[in-house]
Structure 1
């Protein structure tokens, strides 16, 4: 039984995802959300290492279950001559390949970009690594935490009297995955719309995605000699930061302009604060941060979270509750926007996961399936992509099944 035809703006785009764990597979999952036919190529008998990553239910990794959504699974050993040749035949039919091996690994296996390009000059290869394909660090192993530290972001995170802290999620991987999607679609556009009819390599490193978010920091250092340090809250505006309600809930308040501060002063019942020389402009408010934030702390401490949200939202002051996942699952805005979608899984039953992002008005993305079983679509893919008969597929699988992966 074949998989239903894919819908969406990327329907017809064929992707071979030979990557493991997070960054590159995340980029492939985004492409799959919008209709690309993504084939998850996995090692026979083992699969992607993320399949063995917690949390688990019924021996199924929930992490992998979401990461590999909308994909089909094909098992091949790329180091085996038969598997290697099958992969290159698939490359001939593909638009994109996503990989995140240590630079030089595919070349060692005889599957580098030049080899793929010789079989398909139109192939676009997304290469995600810790430090990029070139440079003195290119052969070093890089993961999310090390890449975040190398990017400069970790140094800025936390409090000045404590060690730097890293993100509680794999921020470097997910940001790199987003830049990989940008690179992939840019390369496909150049190939198909600008009509070069040629593929190319897209080199994405984990640290560079985060470093791009540092934005003006290189200019600030080069022009002004400033090395930013950890601060409890950003120094650019006030009041700004986390404030506790009387019921114990936290909220974040952000007042970045004088007009917003005027509205905040009205909401606090202290309209005179807008004329106070200590608070008249953002610059002087930053200089008198402790004074203005003490007033905010007192006001917040006399009200519940819901009361604060109602009053400040009515006044047009940017404020938000600090949510945990239980809050998110119950929030009416999340529900109205359908940010969480529930997908039926053959092992787990209904599984909740984030919906496709971004929203397209005419050709939206869609989460159709959870992760496939290991090798679930091997015969289907070899038939559809390569036109192999069932007898040929059985012969190949008998050969591959008799070889032990090391």
Structure 2
């Protein structure tokens, strides 16, 4: 790769004109190499950070990712989620940090908050999206029809969420026997902590990561 920069006395237009043209094929289209996951369709049923970033990487590798969100409640870090009134404790924490709506540029939602949320934009790029209320027969059937057309489903909810929704692998494979289901709950699918909800900070505390990187004369807090 070559880099072209404008030196003193030259304009950026002259730099662009000196750069070589991209190779092209018939019709003037730029030849594009295929991506490794092209042709793979993924149902994205993830929340918060860890799950959405997994599916974001899959989309960047060429997979068609369809993010499914409920209509009955707003998911954390979805488009415009910060426009909802946050709990008082969260407001106090933000005030101590000198911040308000921290997901927006300059902490300002602007006139178009749905497209200005940094959290959502960072993990939702290259994705399609849909909403479905799986508590209704129509919404559930729409979701299952999507599963029929997908190769992979990714979710990072606690196990009881999937069980209560009756969307376990045994149920889904009846509609799509070839479906690959990737599950990534915080504390696994079995054991006493399996239904504990957690973020990365909680996992780091459980495995002693905070202790390992703390200073010798201080506690992990």
Map Cα deviations across residues 37-60 of structure 1 (whole Å, 9 max, x no partner).
000111237553202253214322
1:15 is aligned to 2:45: no
Secondary structure, aligned partner of 1:126: strand
Two-structure CA RMSD over aligned residues (Å): 1.8
Q: Which residue of 1 aligns with 2:52?
A: 25
Question: Helix, strand or coil for the counterpart of 1:73?
Answer: strand
Segments of 4+ moved more than 4 angstroms: none
SS of residue paired to 1:15: strand
Give the match for residue 102 of structure 1.
Answer: 158
Q: CA–CA distance in 1 between the matches of 2:119 and 2:126?
A: 14
Aligned to 1:162: 218
Q: Provide the rounded CA distance (Å) in 1 between the counterparts of 2:199 and 2:127.
A: 24
Residues 35-46 of structure 1 aligned to structure 2 (within 5 Å): 35-44=62-71, 46=73
Separation (CA, whole Å) in 2 of partners of 1:80 and 1:155: 46
Distance 1:97 1:65 in 2: 21
Equivalent of 2:201, from 129, 136, 145? Answer: 145
TM-score, normalised relative to structure 2:
0.68
SS in 1 for 2:206: helix
Question: Partner residue of 1:79?
Answer: 135
Compare CA radii of gyration and give the structure with the larger one: 1
1:118 to 150, 168, 174: 174
Cross-structure match for 1:390: none
> Which structure 1 residue ranges, 5 or more long, are not aligned?
1-6, 166-406
Q: In structure 2, what is the Cα distance between the partners aligned to 1:73 and 1:47? A: 14
| Separation in 2, partners of 1:22, 1:74 | 19
Q: How far 1:163 moved relative to its partner?
A: 2.2
Which sits farther off after the overlay, 98-107 or 29-38? Answer: 98-107
Q: Do residues 48 (structure 1) and 96 (structure 2) align?
A: no
Q: Which runs of 5+ in 2 are unaligned?
A: 1-33, 83-101
Q: How many residues align?
A: 160
Name the residue aligned to 1:359: none
**Aligned with 2:184: secondary structure?**
strand
For residues 24 and 123 of structure 1, the distance between their equivalents in structure 2, rounded to whole angstroms, comes to 18
Q: Distance in 1 between matches of 2:69 and 2:190?
A: 26
